[in-house]
């Protein structure tokens, strides 16, 4: 019995060791093979182009940025030509752009980040719940820590006339994902947990309209797009952009419909690669060592956006409307946001505020190509596995853990059987 206990202890000890090693190896990217071994913009773009040939993508636009300057652009289209001025709908990448507008409202003195959001709203209010709605602040909505449980990713509407009003959508969204309630309400203690909420950004959209006296799109145009000369950006598809709108595809290569949204701030930004290259530079320093965004929005606000407002397992994951992908130096992180919707739209932006390096990827027809490319860029830039790449590697890590545990059990059990047989053989020898 004592011997059996030793073997069981050995299995448990080695299993824990193997699980820890597998987890560490996943963080370090031991099991990951990126598109290319080089983050040189030209070589990286060449490798991405080769990857595009291997799997379906309807439309594709990418900018590889080095020290604040666009080093290499790459375009691909199945049919209608794509260039830097082609209009893409960018899904949840909209949130990082929308957040700059919210911070602009703060600078204008219209709102305070830590004031309960209900104090600003008259057209709609958070419904009563078992939790204190006064704990739901602008800051918590921006950082997805407000305790909202709507689960809204938003599916949109095929017909523009079918879109709901903001108040209707917040009460019960019709374009909700299957299995979700679509009701924007507080379901967990505000500040106790990080839970992604599309509905939170729809509340922020209403907040902008109530406090600025403008429509959300007009406020964003006047406060951000026009001052930055982002002439191809809008949350509402107008006639001047419609002719440049890219085609939408399903994963099976068939043409997909274009969807309209009530949730503009969360998921409905229309923009171009060229405009996002301008937006990228908002966070960097110009030739006079001053942030290009000075005069439009303060460097303090831009810094606050990428300050961690929620950590998970010791890793920073989200700021104010920004995903924090991996820490670098001087308490900075590579940050940005991804967008994903159905039919497949996948977009990604990564910004290294220290080096000025980064990447922007816009595509339709493939559910995760942009995210994979951007995560590979981060991996090659830092040698680390970012938040989303780690998630994508979980299945592989699980397989490696299971195989390792099986081998450990076989080896320990086999060793036990071998030792028992050897001991019996020795006894037989002495008996003779």
Confidence at residue 289, expressed as pLDDT on a 0 to 100 scale:
55
> Using one digit for the tens of pLDDT, what is the confidence trace for 362-418?
999 999 999 999 999 999 999 888 877 777 777 888 888 899 888 988 888 888 787
| Residue numbers of the domain that contains 426 | 2-29+395-431
27 compared with 287, residue with greater pLDDT: 27
Q: Is the pTM of this model over 0.85?
A: yes
Choosing from 326, 346, 366, the residue where a domain stops is 346
Cα–Cα distance between 22 and 17 in angstroms, integer?
Answer: 9
pLDDT at 1 over 80: no
The residue ranking higher by pLDDT, 248 or 37, is: 248
Last residue of a domain, one of 311, 346, 381: 346
421 and 304, same domain (yes or no): no
Angle, nearest 10°, between helix axes 2-27 and 394-431? 150
- 379 part of a folded domain: no
Residues 221 and 117 in one domain: yes
Given CA atoms 153, 155, 160, 164 in this order, what sign does their dihedral have? Answer: negative
Shared-domain flag, residues 275 and 404:
no
Q: How far apart are CA 419 and CA 41, in angstroms?
A: 58
**CATH (domain of 220):** 3.40.710.10
- Which residue from 87, 401, 365 is spatially nearest to 230, judged by alpha carbons? 87
Q: Identify whether the C-beta of residue 340 lies closer than 8 Å to the C-beta of residue 371.
A: yes
Please check whether residue 158 lies inside any domain of the structure. yes
Output the pLDDT for position 290: 55
Other Cβ atoms closer than 10 A to 54: 6
In a domain, 59, yes or no: no
- Which has the closest alpha carbon to 282: 99, 75, 107? 99
Taking all residues of the chain, what is their mean pLDDT, rounded to a whole number? 90
Residue 6: pLDDT band by 50, 70, 90 thresholds? confident
Query: Is 339:94 a contact under the CB 8 Å cutoff?
Result: yes
Q: H/E/C letters for each residue in the chain?
A: CHHHHHHHHHHHHHHHHHHHHHHHHHHCCCCCCCCCCCCCHHHHHHHHHHHHHHCCCCEEEEEEEECCEEEEEEEEECCCCCCCCCEEECHHHHHHHHHHHHHHHHHCCCCCCCCEHHHHCCCCCCCCCCCCHHHCEHHHHHCCCCCECCCCCCCCECCHHHCCCHHHHHHCCCCCCCCCCCCCCECCCCCCCCCCCHHHHHHHHHHHHHHHCCCHHHHHHHHHHHHHCCCCCECCCCHHHHCCECCCECCCCCECCCCECCCHHHHCCEEEHHHHHHHHHCCCECCCCCECCCCCCCHHHHHHHCCCCEEECCEEEECCCCEEEEECCCCCEEEEEEEEECCCEEEEEEECCCCCCEEEEEEECCCCHHHHHHHHHHHHHHCCCCHHHHHHCHHHHHHHHHHHHHHHHHHHHHHHHHHHHHHHHHHHHHHC
Higher pLDDT, 427 or 168: 168
pLDDT of residue 32: 79
What pLDDT is stored for residue 405 in this prediction?
87
Decide if 148 contacts 207 (C-beta within 8 A).
Answer: no
Rounded to an integer, what distance in angstroms lies between the CA atom of residue 255 and that of residue 241?
Answer: 20
Would 197 be classed as within a structural domain? yes
Same domain, 332 and 411: no
Of 33-37, 89-93, 188-192, 354-358, least confident by mean pLDDT is: 33-37
- What is the count of structural domains for the chain? 2
Same domain for 327 and 207, yes or no, is yes
366 lies in some domain: no
Token reading at 358: 């980064």
My answer on whether 220 and 313 are in the same domain is yes
pLDDT in tens, 252-300: 999 999 999 999 999 999 999 999 999 999 988 654 555 555 568 888 9
Q: Which residue, of 289, 311, 346, is where some domain finishes?
A: 346
The answer as to whether 49 is a domain residue is no
In a domain, 37, yes or no: no
Q: What is the mean pLDDT of residues 163-167?
A: 96
Residue 173: which region, alpha, beta or left (left: phi > 0; alpha: psi -120 to 50)? beta
Per-residue confidence (pLDDT) for residue 428, from 0 to 100: 61
Does 338 lie in the same domain as 400?
A: no
Total number of residues shown for the chain: 432
Cβ-in-10-Å burial (0-12, 13-18, 19+) of 154 comes to buried
């Amino acid at each position: 019995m004592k011997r059996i206990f030793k073997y069981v202890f050995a299995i448990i000890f080695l299993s824990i060791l193997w699980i820890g090693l597998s987890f560490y190896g996943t963080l370090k990217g031991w099991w990951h093979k990126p598109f290319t071994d080089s983050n040189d913009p030209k070589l990286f773009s060449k490798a991405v182009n080769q990857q595009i040939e291997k799997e379906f993508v309807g439309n594709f636009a990418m900018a590889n940025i080095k020290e604040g300057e666009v080093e290499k652009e790459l375009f691909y289209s199945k049919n209608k030509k794509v260039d830097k001025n082609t209009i893409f709908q960018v899904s949840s990448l909209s949130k990082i752009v929308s957040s700059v507008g919210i911070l602009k409202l703060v600078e204008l003195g219209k709102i305070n980040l830590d004031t309960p959001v209900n104090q600003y709203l008259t057209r709609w209010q958070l419904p009563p719940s078992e939790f204190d709605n006064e704990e739901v602040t602008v800051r918590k909505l921006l950082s997805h820590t407000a305790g909202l449980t709507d689960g809204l990713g938003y599916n949109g509407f095929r017909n523009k006339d079918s879109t709901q009003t903001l108040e209707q959508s917040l009460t019960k969204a019709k374009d909700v994902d299957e299995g979700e309630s679509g009701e924007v309400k507080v379901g967990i203690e505000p500040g106790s947990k990080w839970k992604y909420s599309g509905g939170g950004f729809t509340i922020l959209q209403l907040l902008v309209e109530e406090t600025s006296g403008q429509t959300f799109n007009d406020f964003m145009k006047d406060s951000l797009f026009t001052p930055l000369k982002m002439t191809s950006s809008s949350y509402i598809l107008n006639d001047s952009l419609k002719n440049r709108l890219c085609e939408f595809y399903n994963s099976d290569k068939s043409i997909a419909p274009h969807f309209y949204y009530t949730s503009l701030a969360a998921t409905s930004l229309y923009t171009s690669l060229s405009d996002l290259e301008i937006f990228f530079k908002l966070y960097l320093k110009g030739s006079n060592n001053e942030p290009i965004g000075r005069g439009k929005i303060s460097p303090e606000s831009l810094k606050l956006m990428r300050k961690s407002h929620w950590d998970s397992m010791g890793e920073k994951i989200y700021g104010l409307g920004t995903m924090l992908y991996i820490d670098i130096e001087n308490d900075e992180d590579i940050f940005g946001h991804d967008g994903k919707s159905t039919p497949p739209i996948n977009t990604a932006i990564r910004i290294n505020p220290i080096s000025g390096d980064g990447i922007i990827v816009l595509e339709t027809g493939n559910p995760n190509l942009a995210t994979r490319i951007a995560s590979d860029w981060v991996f090659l830039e830092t040698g680390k596995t970012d938040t989303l790449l780690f998630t994508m590697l979980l299945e592989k890590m699980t397989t490696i853990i299971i195989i390792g545990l099986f081998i450990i059990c076989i080896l320990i059990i086999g060793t036990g059987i071998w030792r028992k047989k050897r001991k019996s053989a020795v006894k037989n020898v002495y008996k003779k």
